[in-house]
């Protein structure tokens, strides 16, 4: 949460009744906005206020049958439930839920950010929370409350529809757009967030008015805020005497009429902005209701008073949940406008406040969050296959599940809208990082122990004396055979390179059968004492392979990369006439380097012989840190005070070439004589030998950058300039799910910053024939500030003297070095369409590499392969993605009546997790009409897909988060001009005999049960 800098002055005026719709009815929704991180850690928040919210709200709701409350973030609720709530509290929660007076909205672990999160992680955090709520209470949230994310994505409403929601609520959209929608009563609409799924997954959406989710606090008869009778939360400890700062005046006989007038005036002002006479009146704000007693006792008096004088006021008021409000609007039976798949990004609060800086803030955290997500994805499928294939395993399954759960929790937590966004204080960033690292360590340990178990380490004289996953490469005991174990977490066969750090230049690599494997070793760009070994791996879907790495024994040696260093060039004085061009070539591309500048000159796509002029340079935006001198940049905001300036005057070049790979190393210096470079770019191109499927590898130009430490108040971008006539039109992905069109817009103020967009996985520019695609492994801000240009913001380091930022330690003095990776793909639209979905996922889910030492030679080469997962791959066609394969461990019944009955009888299954239920999700990667072949629906036989895991006996199709049987899920169908009848929409045709047809953009979720369970 972050209030706008200028508090709007509120003028209360009694407006005439809204156009003949009868008496106004206000729905007073009590809530507390509880950031899972931001300024304070989760532990600090639990101690200072969050535990008290649930304790006091539950106790107070029991004291008045009319009182209600909505609960949002499950991370706080679960911590309270597990560690604080008494048995009496737990009983009361069950009762309040049954009475509909406590309502869980969203139901995810957090209120996720919508700009920089990946669809997988949005689904994960929602599923985590929903699984807990359904298992514990048998309830399934049906409404969203996305009041604080900084802009709204079109992917989120689609996911909420797939999860069974009936309505979606958002708040933060562009200030000028909101004013316009408010004036024209267009804040409510039916949103078809996905062009391909359109009305099947549409959802009614409510945009909050200008007052947003906090109660308007200015009251004319007091200089204290109004309606916040419990005051403001205090850190680190709640005050002993219970007196908090800024507690509103208690309601008394002398001021109750003034309070009522103020509240009614605000209700009437808001009613004029909506089409029905139902008014949503949020009561609460950040960190509220830690003393619910004083809150409700005052509001009870006020609501009673207004209702007793409703003839005079023309308003009735009632405590309500979000569900009560949406039910009332639904019952009006109005016809609503349809909004297409356009999102509400970027987001500005004022002319010079574009919230586009957070797309890049804390790039290291963004990178680790995605690596953690990818490792979790690999660990889930690895463990699921292990449990299915090795029922009598030596590994404790419950402990293994706890290891996975620690990473599920950490990855869910960081999706919070002040987490992965980089808008938190340094200590909260450390909390996220520590939780992610701890979860990753647990999952790496689990994967290593599974490999040891599957290779009978114990029985074979400690074959695996060590298995570890680290980033430092192979430990250097020369007399021991080193093994590299590589797991492919994707459900496709992959051919790719894995890089391993080694201590010798002369190495040989062999597979399980003792055959030589193509590899290349070369000096490391980063370290003078080690070498980089690139191994060409070919691995089936969801399988692993082992490679034996030996110091050279004369016969089959890895290729060696030869280095040529070129003289550092002064790019300010380059000779433009006599260009000397240096070619770097593989089977797909020829890259030309300009030897006068050591910069890239052009790329030719060899199949079509199409050449694109292409140069890349690093630039920095200089930004202001003094609020007295103008707009500032901070964690959230990007406010450049001029165009970006080039950072280097001189570029050094080294080209390392070998039979399998060429690496172009460019070093950027502030001037010709500087000792140290400030930026570096490493560009890799691969040549795949005959007999290997090198299509994806050959078609990508991999780039890795080294950026930082930056000077203060600098924002670093990589600008790629081409001669493509793009008309400044940019395309970016929405959460890795779909593509948004981003035409350049001119504004009176702040045009540069307001044309920045989030790139979660993909961005591209194109002309009539050719497209240049960028694929990323973490989120960045991206923009096209000129024709044929695309620039990616890689890093930010900021400090300012805004008191608000300083009070909360929210300046972004990030002195780290970041190393983001971007893959470039150049080609015709039809070729790039085929390549980029699979390539984007190949970058997201790179193989997991583990190292083991074999101290005892196995008798037969085949012995290592006998238990390998490799024997039964899981593969889907190239237009489908295996979105999830996991064992959630939930103990709930798939039959809703049964689940509710067992909870009412107090018979929820305690004890061990359920290992028999496998969660499977399959996603179609293409839009309708995007590709003549790949956009077709696909039939999948789940029995044959999963035959390697055992014999499938039951498949149940479920809603996105697993809590609904799709056959019983009936969502509200809101009336639109296109679909004039109101009713319920059924989601999908279900599977006959385990065969399903997956249509474009669908995500289908199943529970799968196997024989012998």
Residues tagged active-site: 148
Q: Are the C-beta atoms of 575 and 901 separated by less than 8 Å?
A: no
Alpha-carbon distances, residue 824 vs 310, 699, 732, 827, 1007 (angstroms): 65, 9, 14, 10, 38
Alpha-carbon distances, residue 181 vs 208, 265, 338, 344, 740 (angstroms): 11, 21, 14, 13, 22
Cα(600)–Cα(777) distance, rounded to whole angstroms? 23
**CA nearest to 217, candidates 311, 285, 156, 166:** 285
β-pair partners for 372 = none
Q: What angle (nearest 5°) sits at the alpha carbon of residue 102, between those of residues 310 and 895?
A: 130
Radius of gyration of the chain (CA): 29
- Per DSSP, the three-state class of 99 is helix
**CA nearest to 890, candidates 447, 438, 414, 405:** 405
Residue 714 backbone dihedrals phi, psi, to 5 degrees: -125, 145
Alpha-carbon distances, residue 921 vs 142, 401, 491, 844 (angstroms): 21, 19, 12, 17
Q: What angle (nearest 5°) sits at the alpha carbon of residue 646, between those of residues 641 and 648?
A: 140
Cα(889)–Cα(389) distance, rounded to whole angstroms? 17
Cα(128)–Cα(958) distance, rounded to whole angstroms? 15
The maximal CA–CA distance of the chain, rounded, in angstroms, is 98
Cα(287)–Cα(39) distance, rounded to whole angstroms? 12
β-pair partners for 281 = 28
- Per DSSP, the three-state class of 533 is strand
Q: Are the C-beta atoms of 60 and 293 separated by less than 8 Å?
A: yes
- Per DSSP, the three-state class of 582 is strand
**Which tokens in the block code for residue 321?**
């949940």
**Which tokens in the block code for residue 791?**
């620039």
**CA nearest to 853, candidates 550, 511, 459:** 550
User: What letter would DSSP give residue 965?
Assistant: B
Run of H or E residues at 160: helix 155-162
Q: Are the C-beta atoms of 850 and 473 separated by less than 8 Å?
A: no
β-pair partners for 591 = 584, 603
Between β-strands 519-523 and 559-560, what pairing exists: parallel, antiparallel or unpaired? parallel
Q: Are the C-beta atoms of 419 and 148 separated by less than 8 Å?
A: no
**CA nearest to 477, candidates 504, 500, 459, 506:** 504
Please give the sequence-ordered ranges of beta strands (E in DSSP) within 634-707, or none if there are none: 645-646, 650-657, 661-669, 679-686, 701-707
**Which tokens in the block code for residue 1001?**
């953009």
Residue 122 backbone dihedrals phi, psi, to 5 degrees: -60, -45
Please give the sequence-ordered ranges of beta strands (E in DSSP) within 816-959, or none if there are none: 821-828, 848-854, 880-886, 918-924, 938-941, 952-958
Alpha-carbon distances, residue 537 vs 414, 447, 510, 692, 846 (angstroms): 32, 19, 11, 10, 12
**CA nearest to 53, candidates 71, 35, 68:** 71
- Which residue has 């499928």 as its token pair? 381
């Amino acid at each position: 949460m972050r209030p706008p800098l200028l508090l709007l002055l509120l003028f209360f005026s009694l407006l005439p009744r809204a156009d003949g719709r009868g008496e106004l009815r206000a729905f007073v929704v009590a809530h507390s906005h509880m950031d899972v991180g931001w300024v304070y850690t989760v532990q600090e928040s639990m101690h200072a206020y969050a535990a008290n919210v649930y304790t006091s709200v539950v106790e107070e709701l029991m004291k008045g049958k009319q009182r209600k409350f909505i609960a949002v973030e499950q991370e706080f609720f679960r911590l309270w439930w597990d560690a604080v709530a008494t048995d009496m509290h737990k009983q009361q929660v069950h009762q309040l839920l049954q009475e509909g007076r406590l309502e869980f909205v969203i139901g995810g672990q957090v209120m996720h950010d919508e700009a920089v999160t990946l669809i997988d992680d949005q689904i994960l955090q929602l599923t985590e929370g929903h699984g807990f709520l359904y298992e514990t209470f048998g309830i399934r949230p049906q409404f969203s409350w996305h009041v604080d994310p900084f802009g709204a994505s079109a992917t989120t409403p689609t996911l909420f529809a797939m999860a069974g929601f009936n309505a979606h609520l958002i708040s933060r959209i562009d200030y000028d757009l909101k004013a316009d929608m408010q004036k024209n009563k267009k804040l409510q609409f039916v949103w078809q967030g996905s062009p391909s799924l359109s009305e099947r997954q549409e959802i009614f959406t409510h945009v909050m008015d200008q007052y947003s989710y906090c109660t308007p606090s200015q009251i004319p008869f007091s200089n204290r805020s109004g309606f916040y009778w419990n005051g403001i939360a205090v850190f680190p400890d709640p005050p002993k005497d219970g007196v908090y700062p800024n507690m509103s005046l208690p309601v008394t006989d002398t001021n109750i009429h003034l309070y009522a007038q103020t509240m009614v005036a605000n209700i009437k002002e808001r009613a004029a902005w909506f089409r029905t006479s139902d008014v949503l009146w949020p009561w609460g704000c950040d960190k509220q209701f830690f003393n619910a007693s004083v809150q409700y006792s005052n509001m009870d008096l006020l609501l009673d008073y207004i209702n007793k004088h409703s003839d005079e006021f023309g308003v009735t008021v009632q405590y309500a949940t979000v569900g009560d409000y949406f039910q009332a609007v639904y019952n009006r039976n109005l016809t609503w406008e349809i909004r297409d798949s356009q999102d509400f990004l970027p987001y500005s609060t004022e002319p010079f406040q574009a919230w586009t800086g957070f797309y890049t803030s804390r790039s290291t955290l963004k990178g680790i969050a995605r690596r953690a997500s990818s490792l979790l994805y690999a660990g889930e499928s690895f463990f699921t296959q292990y449990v299915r294939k090795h029922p009598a395993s030596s590994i404790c399954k419950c402990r293994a599940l706890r290891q996975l759960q620690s990473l599920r929790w950490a990855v869910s937590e960081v999706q919070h809208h002040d987490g992965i966004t980089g808008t938190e204080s340094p200590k909260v960033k450390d909390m996220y990082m520590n939780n992610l690292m701890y979860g990753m360590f647990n999952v790496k340990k689990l994967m290593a122990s599974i490999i040891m178990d599957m290779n009978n380490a114990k029985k074979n004289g400690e074959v695996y004396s060590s298995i570890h996953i680290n980033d430092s490469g192979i430990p250097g005991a020369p007399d021991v055979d080193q093994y590299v174990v590589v797991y492919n977490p994707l459900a496709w066969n992959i051919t790719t390179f894995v890089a391993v750090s080694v201590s010798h230049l002369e190495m040989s690599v062999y597979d399980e059968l003792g055959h030589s494997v193509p590899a290349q070793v070369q000096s490391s760009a980063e370290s003078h004492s080690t070498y980089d070994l690139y191994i060409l791996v070919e691995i089936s879907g969801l399988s692993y392979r082992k490679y034996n790495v030996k110091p050279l024994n004369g016969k089959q040696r890895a290729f060696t990369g030869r280095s040529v260093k070129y003289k550092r060039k002064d790019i300010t004085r380059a000779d433009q006439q006599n260009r000397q061009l240096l070619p770097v070539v593989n089977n797909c591309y020829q890259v030309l380097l300009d030897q006068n500048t050591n910069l890239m000159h052009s790329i030719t796509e060899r199949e079509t012989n199409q050449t694109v002029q292409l140069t890349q340079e690093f630039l920095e935006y200089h930004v202001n840190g003094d609020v007295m001198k103008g707009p500032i940049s901070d964690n959230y905001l990007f406010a450049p005070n001029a165009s970006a300036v080039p950072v280097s005057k001189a570029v050094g070049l080294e080209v390392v070439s070998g039979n399998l790979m060429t690496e172009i190393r460019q070093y950027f210096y502030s001037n010709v004589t500087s000792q140290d470079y400030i930026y570096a770019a490493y560009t890799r191109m691969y040549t795949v030998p005959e007999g290997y499927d090198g299509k994806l590898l050959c078609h990508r130009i991999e780039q890795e950058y080294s950026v930082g430490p930056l000077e203060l108040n600098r924002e670093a971008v990589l600008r790629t300039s081409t001669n493509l006539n793009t008309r400044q039109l940019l395309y970016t992905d929405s959460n890795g799910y779909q593509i948004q069109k981003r035409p350049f817009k001119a504004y009176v103020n702040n045009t540069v910053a307001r044309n920045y967009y989030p790139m979660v996985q993909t961005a591209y520019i194109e002309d009539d024939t050719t497209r240049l695609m960028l694929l990323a492994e973490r989120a960045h801000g991206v923009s096209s500030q000129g024709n044929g240009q695309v620039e990616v913001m890689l890093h930010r380091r900021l400090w300012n003297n805004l008191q608000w930022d300083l009070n909360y330690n929210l300046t972004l003095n990030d002195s780290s070095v970041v190393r983001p990776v971007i893959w470039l793909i150049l080609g015709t639209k039809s070729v790039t369409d085929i390549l980029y979905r699979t390539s984007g996922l190949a970058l997201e889910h790179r193989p997991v590499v583990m190292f083991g030492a074999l101290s005892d030679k196995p008798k037969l080469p085949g012995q290592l392969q006998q238990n390998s997962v490799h024997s039964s791959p899981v593969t889907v066609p190239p237009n489908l993605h295996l979105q999830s394969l996991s064992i959630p461990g939930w103990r709930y019944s798939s039959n809703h009546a049964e689940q509710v009955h067992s909870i009412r009888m107090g018979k929820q299954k305690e004890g061990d997790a359920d290992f028999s239920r496998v969660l499977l999700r399959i996603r179609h990667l293409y839009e309708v009409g995007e590709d003549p072949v790949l956009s077709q629906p696909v039939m999948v036989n789940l029995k044959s897909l999963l035959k390697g895991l055992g014999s499938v006996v039951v498949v149940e199709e479920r809603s996105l988060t697993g809590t609904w049987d799709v056959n019983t899920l009936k969502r509200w169908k809101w009336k639109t001009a296109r679909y004039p009848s109101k009713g319920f929409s059924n989601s999908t045709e279900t599977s006959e005999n385990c065969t399903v047809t997956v249509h474009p953009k669908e995500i289908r979720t199943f529970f799968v049960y196997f024989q012998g369970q």
